[in-house]
Amino acid sequence: MTDTEAQQLKSLGLAVINTELEAIAALRDRIDDDFVAACRYLLQCKGRIVVIGMGKSGHIGGKIAATLASTGSPAFFVHPGEASHGDLGMITDKDVVLALSNSGETSEILTILPLIKRLGVPLVAMTGKPHSTIAKSANAHLDASASKEACPLGLAPTSSTTTALVMGDALAIALLEARGFTAEDFALSHPGGNLGRRLLLHVSDIMHTGTMIPKINEKALISDALIEMTNKGLGMTAITDDNDSIVGIFTDGDLRRILAQTVDIHTAAIADFMTSNCITGRPTMLAAEILELMQRHKINALLITDEDQELVGAINMHDLLRAGVV
């Protein structure tokens, strides 16, 4: 490929982006009273938002339905062709239909319009033709038209599908804000995702408990601490008094500092080298909060205590990594 040919390909790609940017920019003037009316119908929906669309509009409709569902507006996609062959039974009188059609004359949607009206279901239409049949039949119409497609032949849906997608996102996020949908709500519908883990996973879910907590008495030697740290593998050990209350912590970092000195680990008391007044966490804290705490204080392990300051667990950075919080 010559440099000229390569430059031509870049120019073609840039032209597509510029064309679609212009189409998106034109949407700003269409966030108007019609947009507000559409939002009101969707907010008042007691059932689910049923999204329908054919062809490329159907693909965009599927994505819009997924975005709505994940942001607090229960929704699902129904193929209009299948709707007239039985799937229309999925629509109830408590639902709202969101119909996508660039032409506004999609025959499969026109076929089921009378049935939607008979159910008394509000219809929100998103088309590229404000004076089309579907647009005029709607309770609220969203103009997602594009002045021209990015396709040089003016045939392949490109700019028109982009504007529909952006308008769908505008709807979903406006509804999200209006509902007071929070990051925690989002996490509940995405428990397997990174955000879900960060917002739903508590320290109590992943901390080491019981006999797996590294712990030695304050009268022990440094060598005893090393044995406990090796056995438990958390890179630290708690130091407790005779009442089993925490008086300090001893970590790998403390050990490295000791090794730089002439200290006999077999005779030196751990109480002389431990870190007193150590930072602790709570089992009810989110794992993400513990991560922030550890990063802020530049530590790799943490003891977990209850409200009475009793030792109930231990956690380190590797636990957070395994849990997918980091």
Residues 74 and 211 grouped into a single domain? no
Whats the size of the chain, residue-wise? Answer: 326
When divided into structural domains, the chain yields a total of: 2
Residues 45 and 169 grouped into a single domain? yes
The pLDDT confidence band at residue 259, using thresholds 50, 70 and 90, is confident
Is 239 inside a domain boundary?
yes
Is 211 inside a domain boundary?
yes
Residues 174 and 208 grouped into a single domain? no
pLDDT for position 89: 61
- Average pLDDT over the chain reads 85
pLDDT for position 106: 92
Is 194 inside a domain boundary?
no
Lowest mean pLDDT among 37-46, 62-71, 74-83, 276-285: 74-83
Owning domain of residue 308 = 203-322
pLDDT mean over 36-58: 92
Residues 140 and 251 grouped into a single domain? no
Is 54 inside a domain boundary?
yes
Instruction: For residue 112, give the nearest of 102, 123, 103, 127 by alpha carbon.
Output: 123
Residues 111 and 258 grouped into a single domain? no
pLDDT for position 294: 85
pLDDT for position 41: 93
Q: Report the CATH number that the domain containing residue 85 is assigned in CATH.
A: 3.40.50.10490
Domain-terminating residue out of 181, 212, 247 = 181
Residues 48 and 162 grouped into a single domain? yes
Residues 6+ apart with CB under 8 A from 106: 53, 54, 57, 80, 134
Task: Tally the C-alpha atoms within 13 A of residue 268's C-alpha that lie toward its C-beta.
Answer: 16
Residues 273 and 313 grouped into a single domain? yes
Is 197 inside a domain boundary?
no
On the question of pLDDT at 211 being above 70, the answer is yes
Phi, psi for residue 181 in degrees, rounded to 5 = -65, 130
On the question of pLDDT at 244 being above 90, the answer is no
Torsion of CA 81, 86, 88, 93, to 10 degrees: 170
Residues 127 and 241 grouped into a single domain? no
Residues 60 and 103 grouped into a single domain? yes
- pLDDT digit string (tens) for 54-99? 999 999 999 999 989 888 888 989 888 775 554 566 788 889 999 9
Is 91 inside a domain boundary?
yes
Is 196 inside a domain boundary?
no
The pLDDT confidence band at residue 286, using thresholds 50, 70 and 90, is confident
Q: Report the CATH number that the domain containing residue 216 is assigned in CATH.
A: 3.10.580.10
Is 156 inside a domain boundary?
yes
Domain-terminating residue out of 147, 181, 215 = 181
pLDDT mean over 283-297: 85
- pLDDT digit string (tens) for 119-176? 889 999 999 999 999 999 999 999 999 888 887 776 678 889 999 999 999 999 998 8
Nearest-angstrom CA–CA distance, 72 and 178: 10
